[in-house]
Amino acid sequence: MYHLARQKDMIEVEEINVRADHIHTILSVPPKY
């Protein structure tokens, strides 16, 4: 997830929770306009 977020400008991973069967992520994405 961190690698994917670094590919886009200004996207930051705020929190990540990894479970055996799913992943929760909180991303910070600035508005486009």
- Domain hosting residue 26, numbered range: 1-33
Secondary structure class of 9 (helix, strand, coil): coil
- Whether residue 26 is predicted with pLDDT greater than 80 in this model: the reply is yes
- Whether residue 1 is predicted with pLDDT greater than 70 in this model: the reply is no
Average confidence (pLDDT) over 2-28: 85
| Total domains, the chain | 1
- Mean pLDDT (the chain, rounded): 84
How far apart CA 22 and CA 1 sit, in angstroms, is 13
Average confidence (pLDDT) over 4-30: 86
Specify the DSSP class assigned to residue 6: H
Specify the DSSP class assigned to residue 1: -
Contacts of 23 (CB under 8 A, 6+ apart): 1, 16, 17
| Comparison of pLDDT for 7 and 22, the residue scoring more | 22
Q: What is the pTM for the complete model shown?
A: 0.57
